[in-house]
Each structure stands twice: as C-alpha cells, then as structure tokens.
Structure 1
C-alpha cells in the first residue's frame, strides 16, 4: 500500500530570519529621554562605516553588486507585505525573526547596538536596554502583519541589568512577541557569567512564558581580533555556542528544567564532537577520573540535557553538517534560510533544498524543515497548512521520491556511537556505579552535617 500523502508539500519554517528598520527610523520608537544620545550613536555609526571602508574590512565591490541587484527586495527587511512575497518565493510559510536585516553595510542596526553584536567595549546596559525596547516595539508591529507566519524574537540585554531585562521580556511578550528571547553571546569583562544565580530571574521568566532563550552568531571580542577577519570567522561560532555548555555543566537546567535554549546560525559541525566530549568526561573516562569533583550539579549526562533543553538553529546547513544529524539529534535541528542576509539561501532556497536534502528521509526532512520549529515556537500548524499547500515544495520537487535513503541506515542505527558501541555498556555501567557511590557518599556527609548543625543549635537553646 502506498501513502497517498507521502508527497504532501513541506511546511517550511525558517528558524533564522532578520528584520530591522533603517537605523535612523528607529527614533520614534525610542523613549524620548534617549533621543539626544541616539544622535551621537548615529554619528558614531557613520564614522565606523567609513573606517570599515578605509581599512578594507568591507568588500565594496560585493556591496555595490548586492544592493544593486536586490535593492527593491531588500525592503522586505522592514516592509511586511514585501516580506511575505519574498518568503513565498522561497517556499517558507513561517519565520523566527532576529534583528539586523542588513548584514553587509550594517544599515539596519537597532539603536545603541542592541542587535547581534550586542556586547562591545562601549557596552552601556542602560542604553542597550533602551535600544532593545525600541526594536522590540517596532518588531511587534511587524509581527501583527501575517501574525500566523511570524514569531518575533525579543532582544534582551540581560548583562548589567537583569531586572530591567526581565521587565522588558514581560512587556514585549504582552505586546505579542512570541519568538523567544535573544541574549548577548558574550557577557564581557567583569560581568557575571551565565551560570551565576543572578540570571535565574531571566531563566525563570522565560520558562514561565514559554520563551526559548537564544544566542545568535555575530559577537566576538573585536578588540582582540582587530582587522584579522580570519580570526573572526574561526572564533565567532565558539563565542555563540559557549553559553550552551555553561548552562549544561553548572546546573542551570537542573534549576530550570523547562527552560529551552538554542544557538542560532552557528553551524552544526561542532555539536556532535561537543556532546561526545562532554558525555565521556561526565562518565569519568580515563582523562577525568583524577578529578575529585565533577558534574556535581547534574543528574543526567550532558547529551540528555541537550536533548531535553537545547536546540540548534542550523541556518543554511551544509551536506557535511546534515551527515552528523544522528549524533546531534534530528529533532534538535531547526533549519533556517537566514533571510535576507547574503550568506543565507535566499533568494535561491528551493535550489539549496534540492542540493542539501535530496537523499534525506522525508520524515526527517519534515522535522528539520519545519515541524520541530513549529513545536518549539508554538506555531499553529493548521493555520500554516494553507500557505504550505500554496507555496511549499514537495518531496518530489527535492528529488526524494527517487532517492536511495539506505545510505543513512548505518549512521541512523548507530546514533551516538559513544553510547551505542559494543564496549559502552560495561564502561558506562562502571562509571555510573562510581558516580552513584560518590553522590550517595556526598548525600550522607551532607545529612550528617545537617544533623550536627541541628544538634549544635539545640544545644545552644
């Protein structure tokens, strides 16, 4: 028997798009008290743009070609009706919207740098929060156009003003933004790292409201890297991903089990090796047995927290990255077209999908292209179906009706090889027993200490 619905169109949701006003046009959305400071910010932005041109950090030939070829379409960065047309052409029915539509000339930055590169040497928590409020106010207006298709990401500069950021998260959520929260990838020198309990109100608020927390690629310590763009390209993914292991190893996901955390547009190539490295360390393989205290804040393996609490917004994934999907977890991977950035797949997404997914099993493709994002961000699938019927590519359009998917059978059966190999059960079993014994011993010591403390208190009465 054949499945008559096997060639139903894909419901495609981009977990990574960008929108933003031309920077000067944010003025009406700013609190009046910050508009004078905004004039200084605009002047500084123009000086920085000139410096990029002077020192050859911007490919002027590419910029001229890009804006010349796509001038009208790039208005979709802030024009809702134009945006819908561009998404339709890409076959995308829903989107998760991050800031900074212009990734070439930085012409749509949120005020005071409250965007993808949020933390810099001149970071001011008060100004960053003012800029974030302005962007969030405007974005809520954009999302009221075709609301079933949009999930706007709340920009929240939590470093330096946790209470102010929590208040803005609640305000923006009440204003209709449902795409989660973007926090700075870097907390900067002298600031508390993200495992610090001072951020617990942020995590608790986001878990309560059902808002995933994100970092997004973009920020890096520019003062250290200077004009060496190779250093930036090499390190920027690491800085974006770094908060993930801070939250896993330090008990944040134990304290906040309903918190969802994602790393967006930082690739997938590193994730399988990271999970392998963390799991074998946690299971006390040879290299970590010498450490006296290890994983004391955790009840599960790192990969188990990753599966329960984390996801990757894998914008424009390469074939090599998709080949790692069984180690990372198919359900943990959310596709994105990075619209309207030139490094993304727009405006040639349909061709990219054929290249990337032509031999990927259809059920896995459906999950990665949209269904996992729908569940993660609360899209109403029933409301998106008519859009998918109208514009969505079908498996046959990707060549999947003729594909031999058996090439993936062994990788799928193996999954995370460090947990499924022939010698794993004995090694892991021994490590688990050792870990359980340590925890039991620690619990006994803690219980004895409590009894002793109680006895001392009783004796002083």
Structure 2
C-alpha cells in the first residue's frame, strides 16, 4: 500500500521566466547598448510578421493577456510567481527563458531565448545570453530551493568563451545549460571541437538541454502546418548526433535532455537505433559503430532525459519503452499551451490510473535527481501545497492498478524482453 497522505512533490521540468525585453538593459554590457536599441526598434515589425504568418493570433493574444494579466506577471515578478506555483501545486521548477510565448515581449536580447540558434552573431549572441543569465541568477536567488535556472549557452561560438560562461553560470547559482537546437552553418554536434564544452558541463554537473522554438521558419512561408509538424524534431535532432558520435561514451557524466518536444517519438527511435546496433540485417552492411561500447538504450537510461511538457496519455502508455525514470513532467508555466493555471485539474485527468510510485517519479523525483534539487527543502514546500494521490483520482488500493499495467510493464522494450524477434540472423523484419 502507498501512503495516500503523502503529498506529491511536483517539479516542473519546463517553466519559463524573462524580463520585459527593454528591462534587460542593466544586465547587458554597455558596449552593446546601441545594438540593443536597434533590436528593440524592430519589435513591432517582428510582431507584425508573426501575425502575417499566422504564428500570432491577434484575437487569442488579446483574450489571453486580458484574462491572465495578474498571473502573467509571474514571468518576472518573484512574489507573483510563488503564488502561481503554489496554486498549481508545483514545489520546484526548471526555468527556461521567454516568459511570453504569445507576443515575445519578454524575449532575451538579440533573440537568444527560445530562438537561440547557431546562426546568430557570435558577439551579440553571447552578450544577449549573458544578460539573461545574469538576470536569471538574480531571479532564482529569491528562492533558490524552488528554482533551477537554465543558462543560455550559444555553443557554436568560441569554445573558450563558451566554457568560461559555463563556469560563470555555475558560480552564479544556475543549474543547467540550454544549447541551440540548430547549428545552421556551424559545426554539427558530432564535431570534436565541442568536447571541452561537454567535459565542462559534466564536471559542473550541469545538464545540457535543447528546447523547442528554433526552426527554419523562412522555409515555411505562410504554411504554419509545416512548422507545427516538425517543430519538435529540431530539438531532438542533436540526440542522435551526440549518441552515435560517442559523446556519451567519452563523457559518461554528461546529462542531456530535450524539453517541450514530447516523448511520443522516442520509442520508435530507440527501437530503430537499438536494432541497428544489435545487428539487424539493415545495419550489418554499414560501418561498425566504433564510437559506441553499448547499445543506445543504455545511454538513454544513463545520460538522457526528456522534459516531456504536458505529458500526454499516449506518452504515458509508452512509458515502459521510454523508461519511467526518463520522463520528467513539466507545466510550461506561463505559456498558454501549458497546464497553468489548471494544473491540478490536468494532473487528475492524465494520471488518475497511473501507479502512485511511477507518478511520483515522473512528477518530481526524477527531476530532483537530474537537476540536483534539495529534496528535504522541497518536501516542506510540498507538504504545504502538493496534491495528494486522492486529488489526482488515485485509489488507495493499488493492486488493481498495478495489475492493469502488468502486461505492458513485462513487455517493456519488447525488442529486448523476448516479445520481439531476436536480431542476429533474422533479417529486416
């Protein structure tokens, strides 16, 4: 029996914060102020272009800001943020940039927030990232036990400066690193030039994360369906570049995550990569995977995690293939596509028939381990605000719940548990 009186310790692995853009000026090196003024002067034209392309819906935007004016201040106001987190039952959070995902009014300088990409001017990109990182460190310091700040890291620039920013962010109290999902015309992430960066991140125990946002929007024209169909693919793409090139073999302490891209795509990808490595007919004709000493699923379980924002029922049904411990729930506060301000209702509709022990892992325990949260300190917060299993519609009698999932749990990764054909000598089927 699981103790039904023990509240859930909930950690959002994907939340957002950022100043109204013009207020970043004090955090920006003065030599970039003129460039910053030019950037600010282009805001209205950028917003108009977003509206033209359908990325911004004027009617929705007006309604969103009118209905949530007070709560949205939690994007940069620490006291309001604490109130919103408490209301959602969220004890701790991992904080990414860009609080405003509708009008981009809180974009980090020079567009290096969620739009961080490898093609930005290296000097402006680093300056904008450092300005946000300085502010974020101050913001998280208001209640460090509840916030793990994600430093922006324009990794495609000068490696020495990048490594220096890792050390500076660590000293400032930030706990993770967001790198561009796209490198555009710069070196891909299998390039050994990045090894000092991976090594520094591993030594600092700062997970490296990609986040959805950047994409080749110039290719889409006004066909927004193309964008939404592949926007989650770009943050995932670095995964196979890093895995197959041996990054996780050379840097076993490196943790790598993918945020706000779901995890529905991972079971099929993992099945495909494992069967290639383990000897499927299609993989035998290719060069040996010399950089890898173990099958891909072992690197997934050791090095990789998924900040599966607004985790869906379909994804929870696949959790034994993905790995329960590899799924980290997120609220996406304060973005409209997230669960705020109805997180408690959302959790009930999503997790009501998931075993309590597994729910605790996905809602908070795994995130606490990955990001190094102070669990005793957060437990005190959870005792005050955290929902009980009964609040999620979960029953004290867990035996029927466990039984209902037994077959899926035993099958797990079916290509490894005997529920699939063995690889060697079988062919492509």
TM-score (norm 2): 0.96
The answer as to whether partners of 1:120 and 1:221 remain within 8 angstroms in 2 is: no
| Corresponding residue of 2:303 | 309
Distance 2:118 2:378 in 1: 39
1:259 aligns with 2:254: yes
1:408 aligns with 2:396: no
- 1:236 Cα deviation from its structure 2 partner: 1.0
- 1:423 Cα deviation from its structure 2 partner: 5.8
- Looking at secondary structure, tell me which structure has more helix per residue: 1
- CA deviation map 1:416-455 (0-9, x unaligned): 001112565x545x79xxxxxxxxxxxxxxxxxxxxxxxx
| Corresponding residue of 1:226 | 221
Once the two structures are superposed, the pairs formed by residues 423-434 of structure 1 within 5 Å of their partners are: 424=421, 427=423
The answer as to whether partners of 2:53 and 2:224 remain within 8 angstroms in 1 is: no
Q: CA separation of 1:120/1:167 partners in 2, compared to 1, >3 Å: closer, same or farther?
A: closer
- 1:310 Cα deviation from its structure 2 partner: 0.2
Question: Quick one: which of 172, 177, 182 aligns to 2:178?
Answer: 182
The answer as to whether partners of 2:267 and 2:322 remain within 8 angstroms in 1 is: yes
1:246 aligns with 2:241: yes
SS of residue in 2 equivalent to 1:72: helix
| Corresponding residue of 1:443 | none
What count of residue pairs does the alignment treat as equivalent?
Answer: 423
Once the two structures are superposed, the pairs formed by residues 300-379 of structure 1 within 5 Å of their partners are: 300-379=294-373
Distance 1:96 1:393 in 2: 19
Q: CA separation of 1:423/1:37 partners in 2, compared to 1, >3 Å: closer, same or farther?
A: closer
| Corresponding residue of 1:127 | 124
Greater shift, 78-87 or 169-178, is seen at 169-178
- 1:54 Cα deviation from its structure 2 partner: 4.1
Distance 1:320 1:118 in 2: 30
Question: Quick one: which of 135, 144, 158 aligns to 1:138?
Answer: 135
SS of residue in 1 equivalent to 2:130: helix
Unaligned runs of 5+ in 2: none
SS of residue in 2 equivalent to 1:177: coil
- CA deviation map 1:393-428 (0-9, x unaligned): 01111111167412211001111001112565x545
The answer as to whether partners of 2:257 and 2:307 remain within 8 angstroms in 1 is: yes
The answer as to whether partners of 1:29 and 1:134 remain within 8 angstroms in 2 is: yes
| Corresponding residue of 1:61 | 59
Question: Quick one: which of 149, 153, 164 aligns to 1:152?
Answer: 149
Distance 2:417 2:99 in 1: 43
Distance 1:28 1:160 in 2: 24
Question: Quick one: which of 375, 380, 386 aligns to 2:380?
Answer: 386
- CA deviation map 1:317-347 (0-9, x unaligned): 1101110100000000100000000000000
Unaligned runs of 5+ in 1: 432-461
Distance 1:156 1:228 in 2: 30
SS of residue in 2 equivalent to 1:100: coil
Structure ranking higher on relative contact order (CA contacts 8 Å, 6+ apart): 2
1:13 aligns with 2:7: no
Distance 2:223 2:162 in 1: 33
Distance 2:82 2:118 in 1: 34
Q: CA separation of 1:29/1:422 partners in 2, compared to 1, >3 Å: closer, same or farther?
A: closer
- 1:252 Cα deviation from its structure 2 partner: 0.7
The answer as to whether partners of 2:86 and 2:385 remain within 8 angstroms in 1 is: yes
- 1:120 Cα deviation from its structure 2 partner: 6.9
- 1:55 Cα deviation from its structure 2 partner: 4.6
Q: CA separation of 1:26/1:129 partners in 2, compared to 1, >3 Å: closer, same or farther?
A: same
Larger Rg: 1
- 1:381 Cα deviation from its structure 2 partner: 0.7
Distance 2:121 2:222 in 1: 24
| Corresponding residue of 1:195 | 190
SS of residue in 2 equivalent to 1:369: helix
